[in-house]
């Protein structure tokens, strides 16, 4: 069986368990216990958490980073300036190429939020998310990575798919993102037969996002 590694922030935690459960017996799925948080944090985690044989045996890497970076605290500018975000996304791409030489790499765009439900001192704006997504997509495509447009998936979902203003820890949200991720990774995992969706919800409180 091939091996899939899922990296990303707590949006990833809304689909990773269901992806793993649905792929049970078809692929090995590795899910870190930690959220990838900021792009800079993901770069740091990539340095020390995956080494040697573990890296070499990753066949597909599906990852995201961005929602922490575009967070606006106290109505200020985004936490990570967009040019700095671009710098870190580029470095992450370089690090992935170096550490996971055998992997098919798929970048997932950051998802839509319900800005009007957020506190003004802790807020995300969809126009920021779209700008950051566009910058990241341009960079990852230069490295030959594929793009899984989870923003488009989220934009098509009704408000009730949200568990809060940012997350989608609901049956509707979990199934939508799980199926989108599966559609992106299955060809690289050489899985052609139909799969039955198997839900496993994320029940813990999201951390920090």
Handedness of CA 80, 81, 87, 89 (dihedral sign): positive
CA-based nearest residue to 174, from 9, 18, 5, 2: 18
Q: What is the pTM of this model?
A: 0.94
The residues near 138 (Cβ < 8 Å, ≥ 6 apart) are: none
pLDDT of residue 34: 86
Q: Which two tokens stand for residue 62?
A: 């599906």
Q: Spell out the domains of the chain, with CATH numbers in brackets.
A: 2-185 (3.40.50.1110)
**Predicted pLDDT of residue 173:** 96
As a whole number, mean pLDDT of residues 15-26 equals: 97
Q: What is the DSSP string of 88-116?
A: HHHHHHHHHHHH-TT-EEEEEPPPP--GG
Higher-confidence position of 34 and 47: 34
At residue 82, the pLDDT reads: 98
The confidence band for 55, taking pLDDT boundaries of 50, 70 and 90, is confident
Indicate if the alpha-carbon torsion angle 52, 38, 59, 171 is positive or negative. positive
Residue 74 pLDDT > 70, yes or no? yes
pLDDT of residue 206: 63
* Residue 204 DSSP SS3: coil
Query: pLDDT per residue over 96-139, tens digit each?
Result: 999 999 999 999 999 999 999 999 999 999 999 999 999 999 99
Q: Does residue 49 surpass a pLDDT of 70?
A: no
How do 2-7 and 60-63 pair as beta strands? Answer: parallel
Contact (CB, 8 A) for 88 and 137: no
As a whole number, the mean pLDDT across the chain is 93
């Amino acid at each position: 069986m091939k091996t899939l590694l899922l990296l990303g922030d707590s949006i990833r935690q809304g689909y990773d368990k269901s992806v793993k459960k649905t792929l049970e017996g078809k692929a090995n799925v590795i899910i870190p216990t930690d959220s990838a948080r900021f792009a800079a944090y993901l770069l740091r985690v990539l340095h020390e958490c995956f080494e040697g044989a573990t890296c070499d045996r990753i066949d597909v890497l599906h990852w995201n980073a961005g929602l922490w970076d575009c967070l606006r605290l106290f109505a200020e500018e985004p936490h990570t300036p967009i040019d700095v975000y671009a710098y870190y996304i580029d470095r992450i791409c370089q690090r992935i190429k170096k550490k996971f030489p055998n992997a098919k790499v798929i970048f997932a765009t950051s998802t839509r939020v319900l800005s009007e439900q957020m506190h003004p001192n802790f807020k995300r704006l969809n126009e920021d998310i779209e700008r950051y997504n566009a910058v990241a997509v341009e960079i990852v495509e230069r490295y030959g990575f594929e793009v899984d447009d989870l923003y488009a998936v989220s934009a098509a979902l009704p408000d009730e798919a949200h568990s809060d203003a940012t997350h989608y820890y609901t049956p509707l949200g979990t199934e939508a993102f799980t199926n989108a991720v599966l559609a992106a990774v299955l060809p690289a995992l050489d899985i052609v037969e139909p799969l039955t969706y198997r839900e496993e919800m994320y029940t813990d409180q999201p951390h920090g996002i």
